[in-house]
Structure formats: C-alpha cells, structure tokens
Amino acid sequence: KAGVTQTPRYLIKTRGQQVTLSCSPISGHRSVSWYQQTPGQGLQFLFEYFSETQRNKGNFPGRFSGRQFSNSRSEMNVSTLELGDSALYLCASSGSGRALGAGTDTQYFGPGTRLTVL
Amino acid sequence: SQQGEEDPQALSIQEGENATMNCSYKTSINNLQWYRQNSGRGLVHLILIRSNEREKHSGRLRVTLDTSKKSSSLLITASRAADTASYFCASYTGGGNKLTFGTGTQLKVEL
C-alpha cells in the first residue's frame, strides 16, 4: 500500500496570508490526524477527523481549521498567518474504526509540509 | 502539552554500542508507541506496546513498559550510523486518536 502523502512539501508565505495543506491517508484508513512540530513546543496535536467529522481538537486558535472528504483525504487551513505558525505540519492516518474511546491502532505519518512564514 | 519526558535529551554513542532511551508519561494508557524522526522529516513508526505487555521486540529494538511507574524504555542494540535520529514516545490521550508525544531523545551514532 502507498503511504500517507502530503502536499506541498514546502511552502513559503507571508504574514497575513492563508494556506491550505493536503493529506491523503493510506488506502482504507478513515482516521486522519494533524500535528504541528516546532523546536519550542515539540509535537502538538491539532485535530483529528474520522468519517468526515472532527472527532478531537487540540488547543489551537480558530485560525486553524480542517476538513475531511468522503474519500478520507483531508485538508487543513491556516488563516491570517503569523510568524509563529512556521513549523513542520504532519498528517497521520489510522485504520481505527472505533467511534469512541482512546485509540488502539498504529498511526502512520506522512513526510510533512514545511511551512515558513516571513 | 507534552504527555511525558524523555531521557536523555541527547545521546551520543559509537557504532556497535547499545542505546537506551527512557520515556515517562503522566496519565493511564492503553498502549504506547515509539517513533523515529530523521532530521525534520516525517515520523516512522517503530513499535507499539500495549498496556498488558511488559516487553516487546522488533529486530534490534526492545521496548519495555512499566505501567506502575508510568515509564517505558527503548533499547537499540548494535547501533548503526543510520540509527542517528530523534526518537519519540507517544500515547493516546483525550479520546479518539489524539497522540501526545514526549519531548524526544536525539541519538547520534558515530562511526
């Protein structure tokens, strides 16, 4: 099976702009999660989508949003970019079919999108 | 917030030596996962150990889990230069598939 793919791999934007990142999960996986990685804060959970519904959300401002399509592909959007949004954004997919409770399955990560805000 | 701390933060060893990394976590878990990350790239899943398991092996990797101490360790035996990377432990917290990561250990294996 093909792994998790993310596009674009690199992105440079300026403050105030908005950006959309895309993630295609492993075929058959219905759960897609997004994470932000920065040197200062480490790996932080943004949100998770399962069957087109946001199932969980991290502690990020409303400028960060996402969605999932019927084919499980997901996008995340960041509006009004700030310098502090510069980070590696990672997407992960899981085959978990559970609708409730903590996860039990492995999450597989994509290569990430490196966002630089100038 | 981080689920736990990893120790040491950085580790430098010679090729052929063993590397041990420790992870402590705060809340009860169903399982704990270890990931490797090469220099700012994606995370590669190494191993998942469930809360009812005490030890698990995968190739040169050995993971232990002590739920009474809320800690886990990752041992890489006979390390190679290609093992140079950052290693993270992670566990599910807060429902769904939300993973919370440790702070990571940077491993450098020198020739």
Q: Which residues of B74-92 are buried (b: 16+ CB within 10 A; e: fewer)?
A: bebeebeeebbbbbbbbbb
CA-based nearest distance A29→chain B, Å:
12
What SS3 state is found at B68? coil
- Band of the pLDDT at B2, cuts 50, 70, 90? low
Which pLDDT tens digit goes with each residue over A7-33? Answer: 999 999 999 999 999 999 999 888 999
CA-based nearest distance B13→chain A, Å:
23
Which pLDDT tens digit goes with each residue over A91-112? Answer: 999 885 554 444 667 889 999 9
Which pLDDT tens digit goes with each residue over B19-62? Answer: 999 999 988 888 899 999 998 788 999 999 999 999 999 999 99
Q: How far apart are the first and last CA of chain B?
A: 36
Whether B75 contacts B30, CB under 8 Å:
no
Q: Does B47 touch chain A (CB under 8 A)?
A: no
- Picking from B45, B38, B20, B18, the residue whose alpha carbon sits closest to that of residue B101 is B45
User: How many other C-beta atoms are found inside a 10 Å radius of the C-beta of residue A30?
Assistant: 16
Q: Which of B45, B88, B93 sits opposite A108 (nearest CB)?
A: B45
Whether A112 contacts A87, CB under 8 Å:
no
User: How many other C-beta atoms are found inside a 10 Å radius of the C-beta of residue A81?
Assistant: 19
Mutate to test the interface with A, among B52, B98, B101 (most CBs of A within 10 A): B98
Q: Is the link from the previous residue into A8 a cis peptide, with omega within 30 of 0? A: yes
